[in-house]
């Protein structure tokens, strides 16, 4: 689903304080998204390669193969494409959530249900609008020999598979984004309100506490949505004959559980949870 930038984004979306104009809100989202993604790229690359590998691929073997193929640069494989996507995606989500928060709450803190709905809506809108770039980023990361850049990947996918392939796995994304974004915004807002009302009433939240709350909310939401992320990543790929690996989301879940066991739906979760903290 979304990346570490999410914690930065909704943590900086104030319910009180100086009002940012539209350009400033979009800019904050763009900068936060690209910065967070670049810093955590090595963890994200390893996580993605674990998600799309069979149960025989351990983290150590993936690390060794990645190093042998690309060296240190391999850990930033696909980062430019990811930033091209995450910048606009983060900006759109930050802006959308802020707008929904303002219109729904009318200047008052949102309830848990309102935060959940606003967060899920912002996540779905931003994911769908930038989805083709996620497909391209995944192809570049998994198969850099065939897809060696955004323009090359875009042209190859259109030529060989057609435009609909740029939205492969979008159904799994939408279904997974709703619990992920809803749980994330719900948890963050709830923890933030608890801290301000019970632990330190009347005091501003420090940057350290904000990061701690954001990381906790991110890890909490990952537990609900991670299997959908594994399925959608594999749906983005093709076999050696150029055919989809699965015939839809349900087929993806069924085959992964059959071939890899239930834990196959959580391949790479550990390193993904580690990625949330920084």
Cα end-to-end distance, the chain, whole Å: 17
Position of tokens 């954001």?
Answer: 214
Q: Answer whether residue 176 shows pLDDT above 80.
A: yes
| Higher pLDDT pick, 207 / 258 | 258
Percent of the chain with pLDDT over 70: 90
Position of tokens 């009180």?
Answer: 16
Distance CA 147, CA 151 (A): 9
Residues 235-253 have pLDDT tens digits of: 999 888 888 899 889 999 9
Q: Answer whether residue 60 shows pLDDT above 50.
A: yes
CB 183 within 8 A of CB 222: no
| Higher pLDDT pick, 179 / 99 | 99
Helix, strand or coil, per DSSP, at residue 187: helix
Of the listed ranges 153-167, 182-196, 253-267, the one predicted with least confidence = 182-196
| Residue 56, burial from CB neighbour count under 10 angstroms (0-12, 13-18, 19+) | exposed
Q: Give me the sign of the Cα torsion angle 147, 152, 155, 156.
A: negative
So what's the pLDDT on residue 1? Answer: 54
C-alpha closest to that of 46 among 68, 33, 61: 61
So what's the pLDDT on residue 191? Answer: 87
Distance CA 9, CA 29 (A): 6
Distance CA 140, CA 152 (A): 10
Tokens of 52: 């799309």
Q: Give me the sign of the Cα torsion angle 218, 215, 275, 122.
A: positive
């Amino acid at each position: 689903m979304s990346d570490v930038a999410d914690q930065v984004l909704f943590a900086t979306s104030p319910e009180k304080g100086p009002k940012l104009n539209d350009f400033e809100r979009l800019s904050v989202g763009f900068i936060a998204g690209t910065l967070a993604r670049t810093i955590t790229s090595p963890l994200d690359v390893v996580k993605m390669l674990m998600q799309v590998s069979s149960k025989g691929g351990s983290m150590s073997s993936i690390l060794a193969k990645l190093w042998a193929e690309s060296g240190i640069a391999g850990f930033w494989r696909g980062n430019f494409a990811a930033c091209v996507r995450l910048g606009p995606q983060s900006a759109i989500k930050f802006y959308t959530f802020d707008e929904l928060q303002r219109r729904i709450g009318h200047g008052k803190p949102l309830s848990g249900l309102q935060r959940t709905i606003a967060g899920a809506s912002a996540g779905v809108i931003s994911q769908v609008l930038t989805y083709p770039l996620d497909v391209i980023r995944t192809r570049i990361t998994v198969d850099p020999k065939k897809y060696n850049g955004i323009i090359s990947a875009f042209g190859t996918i259109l030529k060989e598979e057609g435009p609909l392939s740029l939205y492969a796995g979008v159904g799994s994304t939408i279904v997974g984004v709703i619990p992920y974004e809803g749980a994330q915004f719900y948890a963050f807002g709830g923890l933030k309100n608890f801290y301000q009302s019970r632990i330190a009433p009347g005091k501003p939240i420090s940057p350290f506490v904000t990061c701690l709350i954001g990381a906790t909310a991110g890890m909490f939401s990952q537990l609900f949505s991670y299997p959908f992320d594994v399925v959608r990543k594999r749906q983005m790929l093709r076999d050696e004959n150029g055919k989809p690996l699965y015939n839809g989301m349900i087929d993806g879940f069924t085959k992964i559980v059959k071939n890899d066991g239930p834990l196959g739906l959580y391949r790479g979760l550990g390193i993904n949870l580690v990625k949330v903290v920084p």
